[in-house]
Amino acid sequence: MPNTEVFLQAVQEGYTFKGEFAVLGAGMLDKAAVPGALVKLPLKTMNRHGLIAGATGTGKTKTLQVIAEALSDASVPVLLMDIKGDLSGIAAAGTDNEKIKERMAVIGTAYKPAAFPVELMTLSNEKGVRLRATVSEFGPILLSKILDLNDTQQGLVSMIFKYCDDHKLALLDLKDFIKVLQFVSNEGKAEIEKEYGKIATTSTGTILRKVIELQQQGADVFFGEPSFEVDDLMRIADDGRGMISVLRVTDMQNRPKLFSTFMLQLLAELYATLPEAGDLDKPKLVMFIDEAHLVFQEATDALLQQIETVIKLIRSKGVGIFFCTQNPQDVPASVLSQLGLKVQHALRAFTAADRKTIKQAAQNYPETEFYKTEELLTQLGIGEALVTMLNEKGIPTPLVHTMLVPPRSRMDVLTDGEIDGIVNSSKLVKKYAAVADTESAYEILNAKLEEAAERTAEEKAAKEEKKASGGGRKEKSTIEKVLDNSVTRQIGRTAANVITRSLLGALGLGGKSRKKSSSWF
């Protein structure tokens, strides 16, 4: 049996940090909390990304809530992607009870209920700040990856963006992009091929079908103006705490491609906008993605590669990303390898496949003399987890079975009245409420086509009017028609020749030898 003193020393040495930290809970040995074995989270390494995993009902969402609260207290802005709709309660104070008192007494810390500054956001028509982005902001490469286009089709998309840039055609929403696609396939094909090269109609048709597929998942609501400014995610509340932005995406479960689209665009925008930060004492922004398998389940290889690349690079911008999902295998291995903090709640073994998954999950964690990780994964209680992270030197800390502290905010959803109160007092809701439909490619090309159609109609009408008013050639008389006949003309030419020859003969100018012939006279 492991020695308690040795365990306590290992936890204290592994989880002692110089900078700011948050207490996650107390280390456990033989299913009992060890007094003084506090498991702490160093804020300096929160931009190294993380994973919160576990079966349904084991407390993943509450762990996410605890970490978000600690970050807000440390003046770090947070973005929570709320898939299930149970994170809005972070805006209201929690309620003390006997179970919480008992747990906090075992851990050795006090429980202080608190509400946190919250901004509610949405990708659809739910209540909250509307998040939008323009097609132009995506750019041809990112848009092509989301549409899963091949190299030829991606080249065509790049050409369309170049044409729109050269001719001042703004690509704001999907109807703009669709209109340009239709234009380059029909009326504008000759003009564009003259400037930019051949266009394959089959490619434009394929791209159009992919855009329509994206529209079917509600992308029309997301693409457009006013475009959301990422700086609004990194606000500090009036009391000095970091603002917690709760993105309510409860309707995204059936629209994974739109969710992936938003995720990738947001990460790309953050990476492009934020300056290099290096190693900060605490991050500029931390994102939590609940039900993270929705990001990856329908993502193409190109999209996964793009996500992996952004996650690797965005750390240097001071942004941390945490994935919350039921099974670590939901996250691609290439992404999983980038996650420094791992909080593993219980897994369930109902089938042989489940046992295999648990064995693989156990291998994701550091070896330890204190636990049999594979067995313990199925025995963890609610509110308990295996925890390992990177310390301030970037070295993984020992794996610890942890009794986690409860959230200080409400562990339930807000009422409709409470949601209305937050929305009505929000400055950002007013800023992004009105949809702007400024003149863009759709309107400009429509006007151009209408002008061409009107010009064609006017020319046709002018010709018909000229013809009707006799402005053309006058109708010939009967004599003119007879004289204009080809047979009449031939007879006339023959008679003229005979008369000419007779006159020349009478004048003695007919030539040296001339046969006698009967005269017509």
> Using H for helix, E for strand and C for coil, what is the string for 163-214?
HHHHCCCCCCCHHHHHHHHHHHHCCCHHHHHHHHCCCCHHHHHHHHHHHHHH
pLDDT tens digit sequence for 439-486: 667 778 777 767 766 666 666 667 777 777 665 555 555 555 555 555
Mean of per-residue pLDDT scores for the chain: 83
Confidence of residue 295 (pLDDT cuts 50, 70, 90): confident
What integer pLDDT is reported at residue 407 of this predicted model?
A: 96
* SS3 call for 362: helix
Specify whether the CB–CB gap between 92 and 418 falls below 8 A: yes
- What element of type H or E holds 400? strand 400-404
What integer pLDDT is reported at residue 353 of this predicted model?
A: 83
Specify whether the CB–CB gap between 63 and 406 falls below 8 A: no
Which residue in 280, 282, 272, 165 sits closest to 229, CA to CA? Answer: 272
pLDDT tens digit sequence for 474-521: 555 555 555 555 545 555 555 555 444 454 444 444 444 434 444 433
Distance of CA 454 to the CA centre of its chain: 40
Other beta carbons within 10 angstroms of residue 125's beta carbon come to: 10
Give me the mean pLDDT over the 28-50 stretch. Answer: 92
Specify whether the CB–CB gap between 328 and 364 falls below 8 A: yes
What integer pLDDT is reported at residue 357 of this predicted model?
A: 85
According to DSSP H, which parts of 274-300 are helical?
A: 293-296
Q: From residue 446, how far is each of 158, 187, 278, 443, 488 by CA, in Å?
A: 22, 11, 49, 5, 58
Question: DSSP states of 220-263 as a string?
Answer: HHHBSBSPPPGGGGS-B-TTSPBPEEEEE-TT-TT-HHHHHHHH
Give me the mean pLDDT over the 321-336 stretch. Answer: 88
What integer pLDDT is reported at residue 468 of this predicted model?
A: 72
Task: Answer yes or no: is pLDDT of 26 > 90.
Answer: yes
pLDDT tens digit sequence for 126-144: 889 988 888 888 889 888 8
pLDDT tens digit sequence for 248-269: 887 666 676 777 777 778 888 8
Give me the mean pLDDT over the 150-161 stretch. Answer: 90
Other beta carbons within 10 angstroms of residue 91's beta carbon come to: 21
Q: From residue 134, how far is each of 138, 220, 330 by CA, in Å?
A: 7, 10, 30
* SS3 call for 383: coil
Other beta carbons within 10 angstroms of residue 491's beta carbon come to: 10
What integer pLDDT is reported at residue 478 of this predicted model?
A: 52
Confidence of residue 338 (pLDDT cuts 50, 70, 90): confident
What percent of the chain is predicted at pLDDT more than 90? 37
Give me the mean pLDDT over the 276-280 stretch. Answer: 83
Specify whether the CB–CB gap between 8 and 269 falls below 8 A: no
pLDDT tens digit sequence for 352-368: 888 888 888 888 888 89
According to DSSP H, which parts of 81-185 are helical?
A: 98-107, 135-147, 151-166, 174-185
Give me the mean pLDDT over the 10-23 stretch. Answer: 90
What integer pLDDT is reported at residue 452 of this predicted model?
A: 61
What integer pLDDT is reported at residue 10 of this predicted model?
A: 92
What integer pLDDT is reported at residue 292 of this predicted model?
A: 82
Phi, psi for residue 285 in degrees, rounded to 5: -160, 140
In eight-state DSSP terms, residue 26 is E
Rounded to whole angstroms, the Cα distance separating 249 from 186 reads 39
Specify whether the CB–CB gap between 39 and 400 falls below 8 A: yes
Rounded to whole angstroms, the Cα distance separating 24 from 26 reads 7
pLDDT tens digit sequence for 404-418: 999 999 998 999 999
Q: Within 13 Å, how many C-alpha atoms sit on residue 451's CB side?
A: 6
Give me the mean pLDDT over the 12-19 stretch. Answer: 90
Rounded to whole angstroms, the Cα distance separating 286 from 77 reads 7
Q: Which of 72-76, 163-167, 247-251 has the lowest mean pLDDT?
A: 247-251
36: left (phi over 0), alpha (psi -120 to 50) or beta: left
pLDDT tens digit sequence for 372-393: 999 999 999 999 999 999 988 8
Q: Which of 112-121, 150-159, 308-317, 493-502 has the lowest mean pLDDT?
A: 493-502
What integer pLDDT is reported at residue 437 of this predicted model?
A: 65
Phi, psi for residue 289 in degrees, rounded to 5: -110, 100
Distance of CA 77 to the CA centre of its chain: 21
Residue carrying structure tokens 């506090």:
38
pLDDT tens digit sequence for 176-216: 999 888 888 888 888 888 888 888 878 888 999 999 988 88
What integer pLDDT is reported at residue 498 of this predicted model?
A: 46
Task: Answer yes or no: is pLDDT of 240 > 60.
Answer: yes
What integer pLDDT is reported at residue 213 of this predicted model?
A: 87
Dihedral sign (CA 257, 260, 266, 271): negative
Dihedral sign (CA 220, 223, 226, 229): positive
Distance of CA 140 to the CA centre of its chain: 13
What integer pLDDT is reported at residue 71 of this predicted model?
A: 96
